[in-house]
């Protein structure tokens, strides 16, 4: 047996680079598939080291398993882990995996399905996958036709519990002292309850945003300002997209007008970042400091900006690009600002006197240093 172990390990070492290549391609593919379907999740990956490969064989043999060729029989040499925030996203991701890959049903496992109704514990969905016939015909995937990988899908709380459980659990449940076992079960139940509450919180958040959207649709702009009401407002009015297009046109005109001896290439673009409330939260913070009370007051600012908004944006972005070219030597520079920056700039110009009297209004709000630069505020 020792002889076989050495042969298997050497064979694995000779092929580990190929497994690592498969891992990288698989991780990129998984990230692409999630992005395409609009599912927010973190994707990590790993390929077993040669020592881990050997340890796994030794462990399985000690448990009574026999191998003919472990390179073909061990199904988790390459592992992908997908961690998401909400329980229903686990189902969405599982559906993506089932749609895009061939599933080894016999070796795949839904940990939650094997727990009794009176049991708590580690939950995660483990898929053993191989390439679908359609994908395996593509040139970049052909060499991996006979490869398998494990994809684990879990929520962030399930992942937290798995990490804690790995550290504190006993090897066998029957060896856990009763007083410790009771506390473990209580903790497991709390983690499971928290997962369900986060999911309900998401549903409630979406329902509240839906209410704001219905109110706006019927012409009621009296809602108080918060990240959700602002998000609903932009969904209906498309003001963020309108000013994003205007800004990108202005920026391009400014760049086209430059004549300099420096060899500087600038790619500067305003983009809309989906699934990210940070910039909307910054806008809310600015509006709160300026004591803008509700969506109606905010909407009036943007309606008035139709008269002076383009000049305000031109002044701000001209200042930014002038400083960039003055301060830098030859080179290429890329800048991508969130679409809500434009809205913040317009709000600032509508309240210019108040902000000049109290510049700290802009403190700690992303991107608004461009306004300070344009207005020469220290």
pLDDT value at position 171? 47
pLDDT value at position 232? 92
Query: What is the DSSP secondary structure assignment for residue 268, as one 8-state letter?
Result: E
> Which residues are 149's β-sheet partners?
129
Return d(Cα 73, Cα 305) in angstroms, integer: 66
Return d(Cα 104, Cα 147) in angstroms, integer: 12
The domains of the chain, with CATH numbers, are: 2-168 (3.30.460.10), 227-375 (no CATH)
10 Å Cβ neighbour count for 340?
A: 28
Buried b or exposed e, range 191-212, using 16+ CB within 10 angstroms? bbeebeeebeeeeeeeeebeeb
Which residue bears the tokens 């881990």?
A: 52
φ/ψ bin of 336: left (φ > 0), alpha (ψ from -120 to 50), beta (otherwise): beta
Return d(Cα 271, Cα 248) in angstroms, integer: 9
Residues contacting residue 335 through CB under 8 Å, at least 6 positions apart: 266, 267, 268, 269
pLDDT value at position 58? 77
Q: What does pTM read for this prediction?
A: 0.61
> Which residues are 125's β-sheet partners?
110, 153
Residue 333 has φ and ψ, to the nearest 5°, of -135, 140
Pull the structure tokens for residue 326: 């003055």
Mean pLDDT by 10 residues, the chain (378 residues): 72 88 95 92 91 79 72 84 90 93 83 45 77 90 91 87 63 62 75 83 87 93 91 93 94 86 81 67 93 95 95 94 82 86 94 94 90 88
pLDDT value at position 174? 56
């Amino acid at each position: 047996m020792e002889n076989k172990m050495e042969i298997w390990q050497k064979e694995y070492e000779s092929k580990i680079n190929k497994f690592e290549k498969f891992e990288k391609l698989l991780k990129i593919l998984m990230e692409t598939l999630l992005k395409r379907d609009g599912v927010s999740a973190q994707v990590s990956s790993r390929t077993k080291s040669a020592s881990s490969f050997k340890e796994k064989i030794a462990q399985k043999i000690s448990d009574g398993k026999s191998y003919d060729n472990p390179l073909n029989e061990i199904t988790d040499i390459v592992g992908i882990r997908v961690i998401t925030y909400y329980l229903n996203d686990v189902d969405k991701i599982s559906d993506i995996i089932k749609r895009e890959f061939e599933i080894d049903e016999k070796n795949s496992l839904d940990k939650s399905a094997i727990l009794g109704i009176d049991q708590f514990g580690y939950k995660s969905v483990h898929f053993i996958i191989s390439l679908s016939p359609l994908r395996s015909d593509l040139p970049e995937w052909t060499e991996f036709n006979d490869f398998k990988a494990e994809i684990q899908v879990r929520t962030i709380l399930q992942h937290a519990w798995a990490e804690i459980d790995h550290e504190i659990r006993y090897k066998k449940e029957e060896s856990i002292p009763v007083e410790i076992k009771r506390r473990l079960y209580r903790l497991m139940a709390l983690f499971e309850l928290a997962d369900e509450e986060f999911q309900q919180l998401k549903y409630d958040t979406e329902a509240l945003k839906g209410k704001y959207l219905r109110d706006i649709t019927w012409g009621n702009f009296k809602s108080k300002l918060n990240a959700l009401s602002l998000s609903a407002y932009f969904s209906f009015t498309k003001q963020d997209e309108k000013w994003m297009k205007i800004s990108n046109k202005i920026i391009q005109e400014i760049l086209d007008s430059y004549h300099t001896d420096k060899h500087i290439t600038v790619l500067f673009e305003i983009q809309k970042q989906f699934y990210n409330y940070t910039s909307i939260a910054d806008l809310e913070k600015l509006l709160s400091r300026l004591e803008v009370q509700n969506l109606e007051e905010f909407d009036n600012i943007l309606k008035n900006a139709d008269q002076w908004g383009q000049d305000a944006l031109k002044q701000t972005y001209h200042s930014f690009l002038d400083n960039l070219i003055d301060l830098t030597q030859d080179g290429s520079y890329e800048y991508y600002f969130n679409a809500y920056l434009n809205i913040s700039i317009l709000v600032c110009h509508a309240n210019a006197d108040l902000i000049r009297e109290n510049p700290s209004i802009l403190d700690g709000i992303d991107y608004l240093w461009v306004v300070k630069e344009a207005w020469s505020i220290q």
